[in-house]
Amino acid sequence: MRTLLPLQLAVVIALCAWLWVKSTAVDPLPDWRLGELVVIVPPPEMETENAFESELAEMFARELQVKLRLVPLPADEALPSLVERQAHLATGAIASSDYVLRFGMSYQSLDEMLICHGATPTGIDQLAGRKLVVAAGSPQEIALRKVQRIHEELNWRSRSNSSPAELLEEVATGKLDCTVANEEQLATERNFYPQLGDALDLGTPSELSWAFSVTGDDKLYYEAQKFFSRIKQDNTLHHLVDRYYGYNERIAAPDAEAFITKARTLLPRYRHWFEEAADLTGIEWQLLAALAYRESMWDPNATSYTNVRGMMMLTENTADQMGVENRLDPHASILAGARYLQQLKEQLPLRIREEDRMWMALAAYNQGMGHLEDARILASHSGLNPDVWADVKRMLPLLARPSVYKKTKRGKARGGEAVVLVETVRLYYDMLKRLDDRETLYLLPSFGQIGIIGRLAN
């Protein structure tokens, strides 16, 4: 009996230790109702996706009245981390049987496109001998798995810590034969690499949703479903998608190539004046430069058939109002155009979101504040939101219809022209910001050779 005592004592001690650890252990993921919601989002290098999903998560956290902690992770780490309860939910997920998770309702459907260097195959069976690479764990890889059920010969290589944008760049430069990207990713990169030509729709669209741990509580899942039902019904989701993706395919490939070439060769002459105007008005220099390119292609001597002239294409009345004696003086034109845009923006109600105020101010720059107000009134009468650009831009083209403009205060306007200007400026603005962030400009010759050569000059 005495010989068993040490063993019994050891067992008792071990049991006590286990009970103590269990009672004092801290759950690595505290209950979200304690005040913090932890959400996995795409990594920062996926700029648009990261911003879009982060804003969605911020809206949801505000609705729950909790703080938000964002955890940026690449696609191949996102769902495994969720399974390990490193977060309450993961955004931008595709329903998959690879992980025991719960997936919510779809909030964005995106076509997945196969793109190759040179001629893209017209069918999967033509991929033989070509190297196909996609980001590991991405929606693109899931789409390929679906295609593989029909085309068993299909094979590819998955690459960790890669984004579709990086792989598209490799295809454009000839370092890689083929990749897959969704329609929005491809549209964005085509603006930088116009030689990314025709693509093959895989026919397996990605339905993005939020993923939740099956061991998490049901309330968070159901709150998320209520959230998405609401923002779909009240058009909040539509407005958000428009904000991040609504201008992606506004210009043709040759125009994108011309813009990037001029940004490298011509813009450096005037950049310091755009920066001066930015300091004066608080409007980002890239947006002012984008507006100037849309108006004059950075030609200080530009003149239209309506006699608007100069870098910022000022009318005589606007030039007089801004104190400009010579509209062909690029320095004076840039400063005056920036101040005029600032004045238009300041005329709009402060309750309007900052970005929406800017897009509306650009529309007023093109057609006048009066016609913009007519469009906002039409939006209100149509049950839309007059304070949201995505709704107002639906009304502006109607100002060219007699059945509509005869009932407005300011009459007929080329409202569709204003929409084109705003959406094109948004695209040029986005391109300049991305080029400036990357600190590189791309020279894009017409015959396929492409290289990163030089910086966006200061």
Mean pLDDT for the stretch of residues 176-189? 93
Say if residue 122 is in the same domain as residue 100: no
Number of other CB atoms surrounding residue 12 within 10 Å = 10
How many domains would you assign to the chain?
3
Domain annotation covers residue 268? no
Question: What tokens appear for 157 in the block?
Answer: 């290589």
Catalytic, out of 49, 77, 189, 295: 295
**Do 94 and 190 fall within a single domain?**
no
Q: What average pLDDT does this structure show over 368-373?
A: 96
pLDDT at 294: 95
What CATH code is carried by the domain that includes residue 54?
3.40.190.10
* Sheet of 112-116, strand order: 178-182, 112-116, 200-201
The stretch 97-117 carries a mean pLDDT of 93
pLDDT value of residue 439: 58
Both tokens of residue 456?
């966006």
Q: What's the pLDDT band for 13 if we cut at 50, 70, 90?
A: low
pLDDT attached to residue 261: 92
Q: How does the average pLDDT of the chain come out, rounded? A: 88
Residue 102 has pLDDT above 80, yes or no: yes
For residue 106, the 8-state DSSP code is -
What's the CATH number where 399 sits? 1.10.530.10
Q: Is the residue at 21 inside a domain?
A: no
Residue 444 has pLDDT above 50, yes or no: no
Q: What is the pLDDT of residue 455?
A: 30
Q: What is the mean pLDDT of residues 374-402?
A: 95
Question: pTM higher than 0.85 for the full model?
Answer: no
Q: Which tokens sit at 256?
A: 């994108």
Q: Are 217 and 394 within 8 A, CB to CB? A: no
pLDDT given for residue 425 in this prediction: 96
In terms of domains, do 423 and 301 share one?
Answer: yes
CA distance 7 to 11: 6
Residues 74 and 219 in one domain: yes
Is 365 domain-assigned?
yes
Mean pLDDT calculated for residue range 318-345: 96
Instruction: Give residue-wise pLDDT tens across range 286-325.
Output: 999 999 999 999 999 999 877 899 999 999 999 999 999 9
The whole-number pLDDT of residue 6 equals: 55
For residues 79 and 122, state if they share a domain.
Answer: no
In 117-224, beta strands by DSSP E? 133-135, 157-159, 178-182, 200-201, 206-213
Q: What is the pLDDT of residue 119?
A: 84
Tell how strand 89-93 and strand 36-41 pair up: parallel
Between 23 and 429, where is the model more confident? Answer: 429
Range of the domain at 102: 32-106+208-245
Q: Specify whether 131 is located in the same domain as 196.
A: yes
Decide the pairing of beta strands 178-182 and 157-159.
unpaired
> Do residue 166 and residue 305 come from a single domain?
no
The pLDDT, as a whole number, for residue 438 is: 65
Q: How far apart are CA 439 and CA 435, in angstroms?
A: 6
Q: Are residues 417 and 292 in the same domain?
A: yes
pLDDT at site 11: 47
Per the DSSP assignment, residues forming a β-bridge with 405 are: none
- Residue 189 annotated as catalytic: no
Same domain, 283 and 399: yes
Query: Is there a domain that residue 74 lies in?
Result: yes
Give domain status of residue 385, yes or no.
yes
